[in-house]
Amino acid sequence: MIRALARPAVRITQRRCASTSATTPAVQLQNIESRWATLSAQEQSSVAKHLEQIQAGEWTKMTTEQKKAAYWVAFGPHGARTPLTGPGHALKVAAGTTAVVGAAGALFLWIRSKGGEKPTTMTKEWQEASNEYARANKINPISGVSSEDYKGTGFVSSSKN
């Protein structure tokens, strides 16, 4: 199934064969990228077949216009390769995401504003006392607050008394 999806909309056989080099003058290749969407399925098929015939011949004899058309039909953004989103889509997604995150932040701040006072244990004075308490009880003596030459702030995370 994946292979079927990966198959291009118009399959072009890239065999180099010099035996068929007939061209159909009726098929117009100018500006194929702008006209492609306006063509009927039958016309698209005839263009593709025409290009297949050309490519079956000597590639060096192809004109620039034919090469451009062959490339566009094989790899251009049409059929299965049509972009899923239009221009400005990324901006819309970014704006939507920002709005949702912003709303969540506002909700968080609102809930927090309704919360009670901070516990008394959150004052700097208490937290400094916690450091002393931890040292007295040998808490985290290897790498933490009770270790030798400890440079960190330990349990002090508040700047207010």
Partner 1 sequence: MLSKLFNFFNFFPTAHCDVAEPWQLAFQDGASPSFDGIVDLHDQIMFYLVIIVIGVSWMLGTIIIKFNTRTNPIVYKYFTHGTVIELIWTVTPALVLVAIAFPSFRLLYLMDEVIDPAITVKAVGSQWFWSYEYSDYISDSGEPIAFDSFMVPEADLEEGQFRLLEVDNRVVLPVDTHVRFILTGSDVIHSFAIPALGLKLDAIPGRLNQTSTFINREGLFYGQCSEICGVNHGFMPIVIEAVSLEKYLAWLNEQLN
CB of 118 to partner 1, least distance (A): 6
Our CB check for partner 1 shows the closer of 88 and 119 to be 119
Torsion sign across C-alpha atoms 21, 27, 31, 32? negative
133 binds partner 1 (CB under 8 A): yes
Q: How many residues are recorded in the chain?
A: 161
159 binds partner 1 (CB under 8 A): yes
Please identify which residue in the block is written with the tokens 């015939």: 53
Burial 111-134 (b: 16+ CB within 10 A, else e): eeeeeeeeeeeebeebbbebbeeb
> What are the C-alpha distances in Å from 86 to residues 21, 37, 74, 92, 97?
39, 16, 21, 11, 18
User: With contact defined as beta carbons under 8 Å apart, do 51 and 63 qualify?
Assistant: no
Size of the site for partner 1 (CB under 8 A): 36
Distance CA 22, CA 53 (A): 7
Among 112, 148, 151, 161, binds partner 1 (CB under 8 A): 112
Show the binding pattern over residues 57-76: x = contacts partner 1 (CB under 8 A), - = does not.
------------------x-
CB of 25 to partner 1, least distance (A): 29
Where does this chain touch partner 1 (CB under 8 A) — which range of 30-38, 54-62, 93-101, 135-143? 135-143
Our CB check for partner 1 shows the closer of 85 and 159 to be 159
Structure tokens given for 108: 């968080």
Interface residues toward partner 1, by CB under 8 A: 2-3, 6, 8, 75, 112, 118-122, 125-126, 129-134, 137-145, 152-159
